[in-house]
A and B are shown apart, each in its own frame.
Chain A
């Protein structure tokens, strides 16, 4: 079975600071990788996803993530955070097969102070 580990439970940053949230997974086969965001009181929303190809993936709202296969990592980055980025971020993985279920990390709560 796959598992996902997110390194930080809480991150506090000032606006304009750079962000990197760590995510490592364990699984023996090919995986699909996701970052989801949950703004206060809202649905989980997809930030970005990796299935194949360029390991550097661009997502919405200026986020990007890099898949490093040798490190089993899929870290999320943003060069300059905004107050509106305050949310909880979840890394998730699913095996590369039809209708596979998602396994989530525990989430990282990001608080950006104005």
Chain B
């Protein structure tokens, strides 16, 4: 199946700093990617839909200015957590679907564990 790679796998940062997470589709072009957040013992919650060449679509309650999403190419979407605080500590996961076939599975990155201290 298609491969989605996320980097880094884990990151620790100081409160007030910004962290960038990359999501790459390695063997296909993804016009749309999705960013999820997973709290311990809870489900994956969709944060935003990242669209290549246009603005991301954020879910209700997700701060656009805090979670900056850039989808500059067909194989790369980035999520930047700006001015991170301890409550932003979480597991962030991206996914993508192969375009042209909406009836296909989503492929997931391995996730990024963010810890803000």
Query: A residues near B, CB below 8 A?
Result: 4, 9, 32, 34, 36, 42-46, 49, 51, 90, 97-107
Contact = CB atoms under 8 A, between A and B. Distances in A.
23 contacts: A9-B41, A32-B103, A34-B105, A42-B110, A43-B108, A43-B111, A44-B93, A44-B108, A45-B108, A46-B1, A46-B106, A51-B103, A90-B43, A99-B102, A101-B46, A102-B34, A102-B106, A103-B46, A104-B36, A104-B43, A104-B45, A106-B43, A107-B43
A51 B102 CA distance: 11
* Interface of A, helix, strand, loop or mixed by DSSP: loop
Interface in B89-117: 93, 95, 97, 102-103, 105-106, 108-111
B54 interface: no
Nearest to B100: A98
A43 B110 contact: yes
* Interface of B, helix, strand, loop or mixed by DSSP: strand
A45 B93 CA distance: 13
Given A99-B32, A99-B97, A101-B49, A106 B42 contact: yes
B103 A90 contact: no
Contacts of A9: 41
A104 B106 CA distance: 12
B21 to A, nearest CB: 15
A97 B97 CA distance: 13
A35 to B, nearest CB: 11
Given A44-B108, A106-B43, A101 B102 contact: no
Nearest to B9: A41
